[in-house]
Structure 1
Amino acid sequence: MSRSLRHGALAATAIVFSIASLTACGAGNDAATLKVRPDTAATTIGDISIQNANVVTQPERTAEGPAVVAATLFNNGTKPQTLEAVTLPGSSASVQLHAAKGAGPVVVPAGGTVILGGEGNASAVIENGREAAQAGNVQPVVFKFSSTGEIPLGAFVVPATGYFADSGPSALPVAPEKSPGAKPTGSASGTPEGTPTDAASASAQSH
């Protein structure tokens, strides 16, 4: 290859790298912008593994409403384990656990998986989301299991946008309505239908 051809090849390579760099800068380094799953907290103690742990707050920093603890729970043991509690050390916020379907505890089956957060999954709801740490910080979270005990880790605090939009908080569960079979209170008044009046009874007797 001649010297002029080598110089041309080097110049073309430099242009390609420059365009690639500009494209990457234009996309930004935000994982939500790139639609790439960011780094998340994970740990394993005993038979339980916890992955993708995050505290997901409202999309807007000033928005009122709950936050959630999102995570994937793996049980590598031969017996089911119940997630008894999720706590946020250093915070006064309480976390309410809800099973995926109906009432009852959040149970991780033997050799199975439970997802916290997202539509149709179990949930760990922080009722007052403002008491969770600010987005970008790391919030200590402790998962307490029936056999393994407490498993602490540091979860990233992220808003429910981009990659985390489907794992974010929703409205708190609504109180159940009164049963349709409930007995009415009070007493009925007036003459029941089908009951003859005194005048009708007297007329009938005269005939």
Structure 2
Amino acid sequence: MSRSLRHGALAATAIAFSIVSLSACAAGNNAETLQVRPDNAATSVGTIKVQNANVITQGEPEAEGPAVVAATLFNDGTEDEVLESITLPGTDVQVKLQPAKGTGPVEIPAGGRVILGGKGNASAVIEGGREAAQDGNVQQVVFKLSRTGDVALGANVVPATGYYKDFGPSAAPEAPAATPSATPEAGGSETPEAPAGETPESPAAGTPESPAAGTEQQGTPETATAGTTG
């Protein structure tokens, strides 16, 4: 082998070694690939795009409470869309939609977007979330829109921890504390006692004077007496 060929082979080996070394460094704990967001479900139908779709359950495995559907819906069309409902095929649970402010439908403006889940955003709450979806599964979710119709995709079911914590559901509200009953106890309907020093008046006090008293007042008139002596 000539000297020039040997030099060329050595140079190629050095370059290959450098590439392998750089690749190994990039795969370390600080690799950029470890900082990316989780691979969430996404799809599009017509002018509607659904991204970052997940079903998020309570953060603690034994915690009671609802789950939520979290997603971002984009409307690339020229007319507004209304998210009429969200269903989870294969289950009989209801998903309650709530706009970010006030009441009414969840609207996706033309050329805009709506975010489901997270503070200050619209919400899609699944009552009985534990029965509807299990962590680690893929749950079919159908978004029904006023113009586009059904947009379906398989969403990951994840607990509200880590990246998903701020988009997850709130815990089930605690039962209100028992309050004392206002109903009086048995036997509590007793007649209140009269104030000290006073006695209830007798019924006779409220009746007209007796006839005897009236007779005494009507004794023989003086005129009659005077006439007898005269």
What's the TM-score, normalizing by structure 2? 0.62
Q: Give the Cα–Cα distance (whole angstroms) in 1 for the partners of residues 35 and 170 of structure 2.
A: 22
Aligned-pair CA distance for 1:132:
2.7
Larger radius of gyration between Structure 1 and Structure 2: 2
Structure 1 SS opposite 2:49: strand
Aligned-pair CA distance for 1:20:
6.9
| Contact residue 40 and residue 155 of structure 1 kept, 8 A | yes
The match for 2:13 is none
The match for 1:121 is 121
Q: Provide Cα deviations, 1:73-115, integer angstroms capped at 9, x if missing partner.
A: 0001111010000000011211000000011100000000000
Structure 1 pair 19–113 and aligned structure 2 pair: CA distance change class (3 A): closer
| Contact residue 81 and residue 109 of structure 2 kept, 8 A | yes
The match for 1:159 is 159
1:174-193 matches, cutoff 5 A: none
Q: Give the Cα–Cα distance (whole angstroms) in 2 for the partners of residues 15 and 35 of structure 1.
A: 21
Could you list the structure 1 runs, at least 4 aligned residues long, displaced by more than 2 angstroms after superposition.
10-21
The match for 2:148 is 148
| Contact residue 133 and residue 139 of structure 1 kept, 8 A | yes
The match for 1:109 is 109
| Contact residue 98 and residue 106 of structure 2 kept, 8 A | yes
| Contact residue 63 and residue 171 of structure 2 kept, 8 A | no
| Unmatched tracts of structure 2, length 5 or more | 1-6, 8-15, 174-230
Task: Verify: 1:36 aligned to 2:33, yes or no.
Answer: no
Structure 2 SS opposite 1:139: strand
Aligned-pair CA distance for 1:122:
0.2
The match for 2:95 is 95
Task: Verify: 1:131 aligned to 2:131, yes or no.
Answer: yes
Structure 1 SS opposite 2:164: helix
Count how many residue pairs are aligned between Structure 1 and Structure 2. Answer: 165
User: For the aligned residues, what is the CA RMSD?
Assistant: 3.0
Aligned-pair CA distance for 1:144:
0.1
The match for 1:49 is 49
| Contact residue 36 and residue 163 of structure 1 kept, 8 A | no
Structure 1 pair 172–121 and aligned structure 2 pair: CA distance change class (3 A): farther
Structure 2 SS opposite 1:142: strand
Q: Provide Cα deviations, 1:111-142, integer angstroms capped at 9, x if missing partner.
A: 00000000000000001111232111100000
| Contact residue 139 and residue 155 of structure 1 kept, 8 A | yes
Report the identity percentage: 62
Q: Give the Cα–Cα distance (whole angstroms) in 2 for the partners of residues 11 and 51 of structure 1.
A: 40
The one-letter code of the counterpart of 1:46 is G
The one-letter code of the counterpart of 1:91 is T
Structure 1 pair 86–17 and aligned structure 2 pair: CA distance change class (3 A): closer
| Contact residue 64 and residue 171 of structure 2 kept, 8 A | no
| Contact residue 80 and residue 108 of structure 2 kept, 8 A | yes
| Unmatched tracts of structure 1, length 5 or more | 2-9, 174-207
The match for 1:67 is 67
The one-letter code of the counterpart of 1:73 is L
Structure 1 SS opposite 2:90: coil
